Homo-oligomer: A and B are copies of this chain.
Amino acid sequence: MMAIIDKIKEIFKHWSAIHHIVLYYLLAVIIATVVVSIPVFHNSGIELSFIDAMFTAVTAISVTGLTVVSISEVFNPAGQIAIAVILHLGGIGIMTMGTFIWVILGKKIGIRSRKMIMIDQNSKTLSGLVKLMLEIFKLMLIIEFIGAIILTIHFLNYYDTIGEALLQGVFGSVSATTNGGLDITGASLIPFADDYFVQFIYIILIVLGAIGFPVLIEVQEVLKGRVYGVNDRNKFSLFTKITTVTFFWLVVGGAIFIFLLEKDAFFADKTWHETLFYSLFQSVTSRSGGLSTMDVNDFSMPTLFLISALMFIGASPSSVGGGIRTTSFAIMLLTIWNYAKGNSSVKVFGREIHQEDMLRSFIVITTALMLCISSIIILMKTESFGLMEIVFEVTSAFGTTGLSMGITPELSTFGKFLIMALMFIGRIGIFTFLFIIRGDDTKDRFHYPTERVIIG
C-alpha cells in the first residue's frame, strides 16, 4: 500500500499545481462519462451515444448546462440523482477536491498554488487551508439543502407525489446553486414563468453560487466578527468589494438594457411585473446560471448579442461560473478610465490595483476573445447556422452559462467537441489554461535594453 502511495507521489512530484488541476478535471470527465453511460441510469429504450454521453459529462462537470439530449427523457430518477451529484462535485470544484488529494499525498503546497485555490488572509497554514475548504463544502451543502427544502415544499403544488416534488426540488436546488443550468422539467424554468416565488428562490441560489466562495466566507467571517466578536475580521478585502460591486452592476445594468432593448418588442404586450421578472431573471442567468424562464429565441437580435457579451464576462473568480470573470472586467474598466484621465495609478476603495493584476486582466480578456473569435469562425465553416446562433453558443459555452438558441443537439461531432473544449476552458479559466503551456518555472534571468514603440 505504501509502495503505491510512494509511486503516486513520485509521478506527481514533477507536475505543477496547474497540471494537477487540469488532470483532475480530465479524470472527472472520464469518470462522469462512464457514469452517465451506465444503462441502469437510463429510461427504457434509450441509446446514448459515446459523444452524447461525453457531452453530458462535460456539461455537468463544467456546470454549463448546454445539452445535446433532454436529461428528463434520457435519465431515470436514479440517473437524475447521479447527474445532480456530478453537478455538485463539479460546482464545488475539482480544484477543491484536487487539493484534498494533494494534502493527503503530503505534497507541500507552495505559495502560488495556494493563491490559485483561494486568496484568504487567514489560510496561510496548511491546516487553515483544509479548514477553509471544509467550510466551502459545508456552506455549499447548507445552501443546497435549504434551497431543496423550500423548493420541494413549494413544488407540492405542481407535482402529484412527494417523491416527484422532492426529486424536482433537490435537482432544482443543486442545478441553481451550482449554476449547473440543467433541468429535469424538460423545459428549463418555462413552467414557472409566472411563478415569481420559484424565480426569486432560483435567483438567490444562482447568485450565492456565482458570487464566489471567498465572498461568502468573508461575509460569514465579518458577520461573526461583528455579531459575536469571535474574530477581529471586520473589513472586506479589495477582491470582495470589486467582485461584488461588479456583479451587482452587471445584474442591474443587464436587466435595464434588456428592458430597454425589448420594451417595444418582446415586452410590448407584457405587464410591468412580467417585464421586471423576465428582465431580471435573464440578466441573472446570463451571469452563469443558464436556466431560463423563456425561449431566448423570443428576444430580438440586439438583446441576444447583449446577452452574449454578458455571458462572455461571466461570474466571479473562485465561483461556480465561467467566462473572463467579473474582476478582469472591472479592472479593465478601471484601468482604461484611470489611464484616460492621466492618473499615475488605479485607485479604488482606498486601495491601488497592482500593475501585474492589470496586465493579467487584459491577458485573460484578450486571450478569451481570440479563443471565442477563432471558435466562431471555425464553427461557421463546419456548421450551417447563422452568425448569431454561433456567437450565442460559443459565449454561452465559454461563460459556462448554458443558454442556447437551440443549436446544441444539431451540432456536428466536431462542433460538439469544440463546444466541450470551450466549456472545459471556461470552467478551468483562461489563466489556468494559459499555464498549461508553461514549462518548468525556470525564470529567464538575463535582460535586454527596453525600447519604446508607437501604440494605437
Interface residues of A (CB under 8 A from B): 118-119, 214, 237-239, 242-243, 261, 300-302, 305-306, 309, 317-318, 324-325, 327-328, 331-332, 335-336, 339-345, 347, 350-369, 373, 376-378, 380-381, 386-388, 391, 429-431, 434-435, 437-439, 441, 443-445, 447-456
Chain B nearest CB, measured from A167 CB (Å): 36
Please state if B119 and A317 are interface contacts (CB–CB under 8 Å): no
Q: Are B454 and A430 in contact (CB under 8 A)?
A: no
Q: In the complex, which residues of chain B have a beta carbon less than 8 angstroms from the beta carbon of A354?
A: 450-452
Sample 19 A-B pairs with CB under 8 A, ordered by A number.
A238-B451, A300-B380, A305-B387, A317-B455, A327-B456, A331-B455, A339-B434, A342-B443, A343-B444, A344-B444, A344-B445, A345-B447, A347-B444, A352-B451, A353-B453, A355-B359, A359-B359, A360-B455, A364-B455
The reply to whether B431 and A341 contact each other, CB–CB distance below 8 Å, is no
Task: Name the residue on B nearest A332 (C-beta).
Answer: B366
Q: Name the residue on B nearest A325 (C-beta).
A: B456
Q: Assess whether B327 is in contact with A453, with CB atoms less than 8 Å apart.
A: yes
- The answer to whether A454 touches B387, judged by C-beta atoms less than 8 angstroms apart, is no
Give bound CA distance, A336 to B365, whole Å.
11
Kindly list 11 other residue pairs between chains A and B, CB separation below 8 angstroms, not including A261-B377, A261-B381, A340-B435: A237-B453, A301-B380, A306-B377, A309-B373, A340-B434, A356-B452, A357-B453, A360-B455, A362-B365, A386-B387, A387-B391
Q: Specify which chain B residues have a CB less than 8 angstroms from the CB of A435 in the assembled complex.
A: 340
The interface residues of chain B lying within 8 Å CB-to-CB of A388 are: 387
Contacts of A368 in B (CB 8 A): 456
The secondary structure that dominates the A interface is helix
User: A335 CB to closest chain B CB, in angstroms?
Assistant: 7
A444/B345 in contact, CB under 8 A: yes
Tell whether, in the assembled complex, residue B355 and residue A355 are in contact, meaning their CB atoms are under 8 Å apart: yes
Give the residues in chain B near A352, CB-CB below 8 Å: 447-451
Q: Which residues of the other chain, B, contact A302 by a CB distance below 8 angstroms?
A: 377-378, 380-381
CA distance A218 to B328 in the complex (A): 39
> Contact partner of A318 among B356, B365, B454, CB < 8 A?
B454
Q: Give bound CA distance, A362 to B357, whole Å.
A: 13
CB distance from A1 to the nearest CB of B (A): 37
For A214, what are the chain B residues with a Cβ–Cβ distance below 8 Å? 454
Between A354, A355, A363, the greatest number of chain B beta carbons within 10 A of the residue's beta carbon is seen for A363
Residues of B within 8 A of A365 (CB): 362, 366
Q: Which residues of B contact A431 (CB under 8 A)?
A: 455-456
CB distance from A429 to the nearest CB of B (A): 5
Give the residue of B119, B350, B378, B455 whose beta carbon is less than 8 angstroms from that of A453.
B119
* B387 and A450 contact, CB distance less than 8 A: no
In-complex Cβ contact of A341 among B328, B335, B340, B437 (8 A): B437
The one of B332, B342, B353, B451 in contact with A450, judged by C-beta atoms closer than 8 angstroms, is: B353
> In the complex, what residues of B have CB within 8 A of residue A430's CB?
456
CA distance A360 to B358 in the complex (A): 11
A103 to chain B, nearest CB (A): 21
Q: Would you call B342 and A438 a contact (CB within 8 A)?
A: yes
Residue in A214, A356, A444, A448 whose Cβ sees the most chain B Cβ within 10 Å: A448
Is A456's CB under 8 angstroms from B239's CB? no
By beta carbon, the residue of chain B nearest A328 is: B456
B456 contacts A364, CB within 8 Å? Answer: yes
- Say whether B439 contacts A341, CB under 8 Å: yes
B376→A454 contact, CB < 8 A: no
> CB-CB < 8 A to A324: which residues of B?
456
CB closest residue in chain B, given A378? B302
